[in-house]
Structure 1
């Protein structure tokens, strides 16, 4: 079934899997099962690394910004894992939920509208690069 998904749909699935792992890690920390919490946090961190590796840097500045956000969240998860701190995990969940929601909304837009928006953004970026 996964082979029939587009790369955009797979990205949405990765967001969901990451969120699930983070929520389970919080439950594990609260129940003092630190070994399982460690496993779930490592899994979430692996997903973030894969999301970062899959970025298309030709898409513009948004790819660079997503890379920075993914790296920030990965660093926070390492900190949360060391401290076994659910508050830090909740911060990452909030950020990831916002990104996931925006991603899912973009999947609902027709491809023609996305292409037009991308052309406008690229024209803006070209003008910004020329003016500097």
Structure 2
């Protein structure tokens, strides 16, 4: 998936995080395919890209979120360690484990984004209704 800089600048930080999760999973899936083809140089490149994404995700953690942020950092560190191990061993099972973990995080993240959008949408509708109620013009 390729997005132009212009499109990326229009995304919220939450949407960018979601895109990073997707890109990471894509790189991991491609690494598995390359393991099966015994293209170990390609595997190395894909796993390094995935690990770079994990480090970027870790750098973007908002620590004001409390214990959840700390726990997420620990999960990212675990994933980074597992990716290094998977790269050294060229181990498909480790990569599958990481994909499963990331898929759960990504699903929760996307669900939270949807909930936030739904709440914002309801607030906007209420404000619009209140505005329309008081802006009725009798002529």
Question: Which TM-score applies when normalising by structure 1?
Answer: 0.83
Partners of 1:17 and 1:93 in 2: how far apart? Answer: 11
Structure 2 counterpart of 1:74, from 80, 105, 109: 80
Instruction: Find the counterpart in structure 2 of residue 14 from structure 1.
Output: 20
Instruction: Find the counterpart in structure 1 of residue 31 from structure 2.
Output: 25
Partners of 2:37 and 2:91 in 1: how far apart? Answer: 13
Would you say how many aligned residue pairs link Structure 1 and Structure 2?
Answer: 114
Deviation above 6 Å: which 4+ runs of structure 1?
none
CA offsets, 1:50-91, max 9 Å, x none? 000000101111000000000000000000000000000000
Instruction: Find the counterpart in structure 2 of residue 53 from structure 1.
Output: 59
Structure 2 counterpart of 1:2, from 8, 33, 58: 8
Task: Look up the SS of the partner of 1:12 in the other structure.
Answer: helix
Partners of 1:113 and 1:61 in 2: how far apart? Answer: 24
Q: Does 1:63 align with 2:44?
A: no
Structure 1 counterpart of 2:93, from 84, 87, 91: 87
RMSD of aligned Cα (Å) = 1.4
Partners of 1:3 and 1:49 in 2: how far apart? Answer: 21
Greater radius of gyration (CA): 2
Question: Which TM-score applies when normalising by structure 2?
Answer: 0.79
